[in-house]
Amino acid sequence: MDVQIFGIKKSSDTRKALRFFSERRITTHFVDLDERAASPGELRRFIEKFGVDAIVDRASRRFAELGLHSARFSDRRWMDLLAEEPRLLRMPLVRRGNALTVGPAEADWKAWVSP
């Protein structure tokens, strides 16, 4: 089983996800969003499943810096903005095949690894 984790190294929730899978000896592919943005296709997959509101971190410092509290964008505009500004994402974004999670979702991850 391979797991793909999108996040940034400074995010404590991303580090928790990496540690969770490494403790269980599960191969992970980590995509550091500070170094390389998620592809529009990957973002679209998460948006289609959870919606924009679930993947945008409205409590993040970057969200406040950009003054987005009163922003009313279409899903397409949000996707473009999230590709440009990955620190607006709720991290980590975790994918295993077609299964997806947003944020710390240890219960879901445990279900993935249980026999």
Q: Which residues pair with 102 in a beta bridge?
A: 93
Among 7, 48, 50, 10, CA closest to 29: 7
Q: How far apart are the first and last CA of the chain?
A: 12
The pTM is what?
0.88
CA 52 – CA 56 distance, rounded (Å): 6
pLDDT at 27: 92
> What domains are defined for the chain?
2-113 (3.40.30.10)
What are φ and ψ of residue 94, in 5° steps? -120, 135
pLDDT at 21: 94
pLDDT over threshold 90, residue 22: yes
Residues ≥6 apart with Cβ < 8 Å to 99: 108, 112
Q: Read off the pLDDT of residues 62-115 as tens digits, 9 standing for 90 and up.
A: 899 888 888 888 888 888 888 888 899 999 999 998 999 999 999 999 999 887
